[in-house]
Structure 1
Amino acid sequence: MKAIICTKYGTPEVLKMVEVDKPVPKNNEVLIKIHATTVNGADARIRGAVFPSIFNFPVKLAMGFKGPRKQILGVELSGVIEAIGAKVTQYKIGDEIMASTGAHFGAHAEYICLAETAEMTHKPSNMSFEEAAAVPHCALAALYFLKKGKIQPGQNVLIHGAAGGIGTFAVQIAKSMGAYVTGVCSTSGIEMVKSIGADKVIDYTRENISKYGDTYDVIFDTVGKSSIPECLEVLNENGQYLSAVHLELSRMLEGIKASLTSNKKVIGGVASYTVENLNYLKNLIEAGKLKTVIDKQYSFHQMVEAHTYVDTGHKKGHVIIRVDAN
């Protein structure tokens, strides 16, 4: 089978398409023919070894110093089950699924084997393979942190990076929880963020979040670029600042100080993915409350071009790879 491998850290040109052995499912695994996958910020950061300085050594210790030990990147996919192991009971051949591979990676290939207990569920009936491929990573991250925020109907929620991969899902999930949602993005994303349900949009290139005098119960930073002190100023007492990305040391210290000296909480860390949350998202999708925003689509042979585009930092929503396309 064909796969895209990353043997060393660097620019998108380090990625190469090669032939590798097609995997064979173990007793508890399913073999998936991948129809679509994505290139997101996590893939680009791993390929380019772009890690916060405080985490650089431990991340490379875990992943590899000269290049990723797991050379086939990709953390999410959609596809069709082609074979099942002898002990698999939850799935059958022909099932259409979407799945997260998490730290195992491996989605940038034509086939993959996953345990039936992996973060996997049936593809929503009202989504294409391309749309479904983007759900198991960014939407799960958005849901994980928004649940940490314990959002209640009527609360004011501010989402930084509302036009991004996590942000577009976060806007919609927060709305489904009954929140009044303000999205923060650049000028080019304003209309799109409005179209997915944001009640208000702030253009960070022209306006400061404190301009309108609004305060928020939850502030969710999906891109790690907001000023924590500035956010805390407009965060209500007992409010929560959520961060979906690893913080640099200075920002971590700001967060710790805020949590120790006020009733405002700063919550970060690594999102935990579960099948329960993936099914929660599937139900939202089938109820018409959650959709995937696709920016660009590329064929499997255009992986370098896809990474190059993601590296610009200007993507809106998701970049999809059609693995079954020529």
Structure 2
Amino acid sequence: MKAIVQQRYGAAPAVLEVGEVAMPAAGPGDVLVRVHAAAVNAADWHIMRGDPWIARLATPAIFGRRGPKQPIRGRDIAGVVEAVGPGVERFAPGDEVYGDLGDAGGAFAEYAVAPSTSLAAKPADLTFVEAAAVPLAGSTALYGLRDLAGVRAGQRVLINGASGGVGTFAVQIAAAIGAEVTGVCSTRNVELISSLGASDVIDYTRTDFAALGRHWDVVFDLAARRTLADCRRALTPDGTLLLAGGGVFEGGSLFGPMTIQVQGRLLARAARPQRLLPLQIRPRAAYLDALRDLIESGAVRPVIEKTYPLAAAAEAVHHLEQEHTRAKLVLTVV
């Protein structure tokens, strides 16, 4: 089968090549999916470059000495079940599914294997391209706002990095819960964020949200470019700060966008009653089921800036790591 293969750390397009590899097989509890579309995430370029350096030490299951342990990038897929492994009863060949392959990766290929627990039935109203844009970004937004922060109707929520992949879902999910949503984005994205349900939009090129003297119950930092002090200044005294975000490539780093997350962990106890919550997520079908309900109800929709053919995966990853992409980039495989 065709796949985008990487053998060493480096920059796209040099280290991402179209190659022929053996088709994977579905083991116990696994599902073999014929991939129709796969989304590009910040995790892809971080693993591609082995950046930040601390990640190589912190996650040896992903990062090898000279290159990633898994040679095929990509987490998010949407496609059709080709075969199921022993013990899988939730799916059958021909089912349309979407999901997150997690740290194992392997989505940038014609076929991919995923644990059945990280897949769900594809939202009926979405194309495969649209569905592929949902799993990681949508699950991150849902988990952060609903499960970690416990956002309630009437609360004030600020999304910093509202026009990114996670941000566009976060604005919609917070609005669907009934929160009063403020989105922070650049000038070109103000209209988009308003259309997604934000009652207030701050253009960061003109206004510093941390200097306004306003306070929010929840600040979801997805840009990873502000200091911890800036983010805390915008919180209510007992507010919640969610820390995530992949950033863009800035020439290699020790901690990169993980800096503010590390600081949050170190200062979490001293910051009480404010809550500082670095966000890490594992793929779960339950998130996908909840997102499907939101999508089919009309409360949430994926936003896609651009699609690329599988052979142009290197161009898509390069775009994501060098620019502030609006929402999602998706590869079409079939």
Q: Same fold (TM over 0.5)?
A: yes
Residues of 1 paired with 2:258 and 2:139: CA distance? 23
Report the alpha carbon displacement of residue 55 of structure 1 after superposing the two structures with TM. Answer: 3.7
Bigger drift between 94-103 and 57-66 goes to: 57-66
Kindly indicate whether the alpha-carbon contact (under 8 Å) linking 2:76 and 2:132 is maintained by their aligned counterparts in 1: yes
Kindly indicate whether the alpha-carbon contact (under 8 Å) linking 2:9 and 2:66 is maintained by their aligned counterparts in 1: yes
User: Who is 1:150 aligned against?
Assistant: 150
Residues of 2 paired with 1:153 and 1:289: CA distance? 15
Residues of 2 paired with 1:221 and 1:182: CA distance? 12
* Residue 301 (structure 2) pairs with residue 291 (structure 1): yes
Aligned AA (2:141): A
Unaligned runs of 5+ in 2: 246-254
User: Who is 2:230 aligned against?
Assistant: 230
User: Who is 2:124 aligned against?
Assistant: 125
User: Who is 1:20 aligned against?
Assistant: 21
* Residue 292 (structure 2) pairs with residue 282 (structure 1): yes
Residues of 2 paired with 1:30 and 1:161: CA distance? 34
* Residue 122 (structure 2) pairs with residue 112 (structure 1): no
Residues of 2 paired with 1:54 and 1:25: CA distance? 33
Report the alpha carbon displacement of residue 87 of structure 1 after superposing the two structures with TM. Answer: 3.3
1:167-209 Cα distance to aligned partner (Å, 9 max, x none): 1111111111111000111112111111111111111111011
Question: Superposed, which structure 2 residues align to 1:183-262 within 5 Å?
Answer: 183-245=183-245, 248-249=258-259, 252-253=262-263, 256-257=266-267, 259-262=269-272
Q: Following TM superposition, where does structure 1 have runs of at least 4 consecutive aligned residues deviating by more than 3 angstroms?
A: 53-56, 59-62, 210-213, 245-259
Kindly indicate whether the alpha-carbon contact (under 8 Å) linking 1:228 and 1:255 is maintained by their aligned counterparts in 2: no
Task: Work out the percentage of aligned pairs sharing the same amino acid.
Answer: 36
* Residue 270 (structure 2) pairs with residue 265 (structure 1): no
Q: Structure 1 residues 315 and 18 mapped into 2: Cα distance closer, same or farther (>3 Å)?
A: same
User: Who is 1:3 aligned against?
Assistant: 3
User: Who is 1:99 aligned against?
Assistant: 99
Kindly indicate whether the alpha-carbon contact (under 8 Å) linking 1:160 and 1:226 is maintained by their aligned counterparts in 2: no
What SS does structure 1 have at the residue aligned with 2:59?
helix
Residues of 2 paired with 1:133 and 1:34: CA distance? 10
Residues of 2 paired with 1:61 and 1:268: CA distance? 21
TM-score calculated relative to the size of structure 2: 0.91
Residues of 2 paired with 1:128 and 1:253: CA distance? 40
Residues of 2 paired with 1:119 and 1:265: CA distance? 29
Residues of 2 paired with 1:258 and 1:32: CA distance? 41
* Residue 327 (structure 2) pairs with residue 320 (structure 1): no
Residues of 2 paired with 1:261 and 1:155: CA distance? 21
Report the alpha carbon displacement of residue 23 of structure 1 after superposing the two structures with TM. Answer: 2.0
Unaligned runs of 5+ in 1: none
Aligned AA (1:257): L
Report the alpha carbon displacement of residue 125 of structure 1 after superposing the two structures with TM. Answer: 0.6
Question: Superposed, which structure 2 residues align to 1:39-50 within 5 Å?
Answer: 39-50=40-51
Q: Structure 1 residues 242 and 18 mapped into 2: Cα distance closer, same or farther (>3 Å)?
A: same
Q: Structure 1 residues 266 and 86 mapped into 2: Cα distance closer, same or farther (>3 Å)?
A: closer
User: Who is 1:74 aligned against?
Assistant: 74
1:252-289 Cα distance to aligned partner (Å, 9 max, x none): 33664364144111110422332112111110011011
Q: Structure 1 residues 61 and 81 mapped into 2: Cα distance closer, same or farther (>3 Å)?
A: closer
1:276-309 Cα distance to aligned partner (Å, 9 max, x none): 1211111001101111110010001111211121
User: Who is 1:308 aligned against?
Assistant: 318
Report the alpha carbon displacement of residue 227 of structure 1 after superposing the two structures with TM. Answer: 2.4
Q: Structure 1 residues 61 and 258 mapped into 2: Cα distance closer, same or farther (>3 Å)?
A: closer
Kindly indicate whether the alpha-carbon contact (under 8 Å) linking 1:145 and 1:244 is maintained by their aligned counterparts in 2: no
Residues of 1 paired with 2:24 and 2:310: CA distance? 19
User: Who is 2:161 aligned against?
Assistant: 161
User: Who is 1:137 aligned against?
Assistant: 136
Report the alpha carbon displacement of residue 115 of structure 1 after superposing the two structures with TM. Answer: 2.8
Aligned residue-pair number: 322
